[in-house]
Homo-oligomer: A and B are copies of this chain.
Amino acid sequence: MSSPDNGNHNIAATVFHDLRRQILSGQLAPGERLPGERELAATYGTNRNTLREAVRRLEQTRLVTVRHGQGVTVANYRRTGTMDLLSPLLEASTNLSEVAHILQDILPARVLVLEFAARLAVQRADKSDIERLRDITDLLVSAFEGRDPTVMAHGFQRWLDALIDAGHSVAIRWIANPFLEAYRDLLDRFPVLWVLDASFPSHLREFLKALEDGNEEATVAAVRSYYSNIDEAVLRTLAELRASSRT
């Protein structure tokens, strides 16, 4: 079990990712016991210290529990986990059906988070926040008209970042981070999910205007309506992909 895997030149990290994938994909079920550290180290062709780093990282992410004298057991992470597991879980999902099932739960929560972020932004954004959002909006709109997907994808990440920053709240930043991370990773993996209809520029403009006017309800409504549309399109695209992959 060599594991050339990714370009990561870090043995402990490689082992960690491999074990995490095995757990999140169900190959290692909750309650199941992992081999001992000595055996695992031999399996991965490394030594105990390096392997222990990987296991402790698993423990830190609540994927396993380690007890002196008893060994390492896979934790019931669906109950005890946190959103940090979102991106890895999507990454470990082997088929579109699983991804769709997870997204059905996640996307409404994401809308809620972004609504909350928008509300905070209206209340707390200063001039530089709004200016930053306006710059990114201009960039996104021109990229949209020029059909430049790379600039758009990158720009949209920046737009979300700017929205979160405008809330000036550690809480919303910490809540949003796992969503943003999962969103980025998911688009890297399934670029087809990058769904945008012709209303994209007008929605961005509408949001910006509501924010500048300090109209809280209009700002929140703009975010809600836009992302609800996006999410429906994403789920619809996923359903089509699943249908076509079965043929």
Give the interface of A toward B (CB within 8 A).
12, 49, 52-53, 56-57, 60-61, 78-86, 102, 105-106, 108-109, 112, 116, 169-175, 177-178
Task: Please report the C-alpha to C-alpha distance between residue A59 and residue B171 in the assembled complex, in whole angstroms.
Answer: 20
Task: Please report the C-alpha to C-alpha distance between residue A80 and residue B161 in the assembled complex, in whole angstroms.
Answer: 11
- Asked whether A177 lies within 8 Å of B82 as measured between CB atoms, the reply is yes
- Asked whether A78 lies within 8 Å of B109 as measured between CB atoms, the reply is no
Task: Please report the C-alpha to C-alpha distance between residue A102 and residue B80 in the assembled complex, in whole angstroms.
Answer: 24
Given contacts A61-B60, A116-B109, A171-B106, contact A177 B52 (CB under 8 A): no
Given contacts A60-B60, A61-B60, contact A174 B83 (CB under 8 A): yes
Given contacts A80-B177, A82-B178, 17 further A-B pairs with CB under 8 A are: A52-B53, A53-B56, A56-B56, A60-B60, A60-B61, A79-B173, A81-B173, A81-B177, A82-B82, A83-B83, A83-B174, A86-B174, A105-B169, A105-B170, A108-B116, A109-B116, A109-B172
What are 14 sample pairs from A and B whose C-beta atoms fall under 8 A apart?
A12-B56, A52-B53, A53-B53, A56-B56, A56-B57, A57-B60, A79-B173, A80-B177, A82-B83, A83-B171, A105-B169, A105-B170, A105-B172, A175-B175
- Asked whether B78 lies within 8 Å of A173 as measured between CB atoms, the reply is yes
Residues from chain B with a CB closer than 8 A to the CB of A53 are 52-53, 56
Task: Please report the C-alpha to C-alpha distance between residue A38 and residue B52 in the assembled complex, in whole angstroms.
Answer: 19
Given contacts A53-B56, A61-B60, A169-B105, contact A81 B174 (CB under 8 A): yes
User: In angstroms, how far is the closest chain B Cβ from the Cβ of A141?
Assistant: 27
Q: Which of B12, B82, B108, B177 contacts A174 (CB 8 A)?
A: B82
Closest 10 CB pairs of A and B: A105-B171, A60-B60, A105-B169, A83-B174, A106-B171, A57-B60, A109-B171, A82-B174, A82-B177, A81-B174
Residues from chain B with a CB closer than 8 A to the CB of A177 are 80-82
- Asked whether B109 lies within 8 Å of A175 as measured between CB atoms, the reply is yes
Given contacts A49-B49, A61-B60, A175-B109, contact A84 B81 (CB under 8 A): no
Q: Which of B12, B84, B112, B116 contacts A84 (CB 8 A)?
A: B84
Residues from chain B with a CB closer than 8 A to the CB of A56 are 12, 53, 56-57
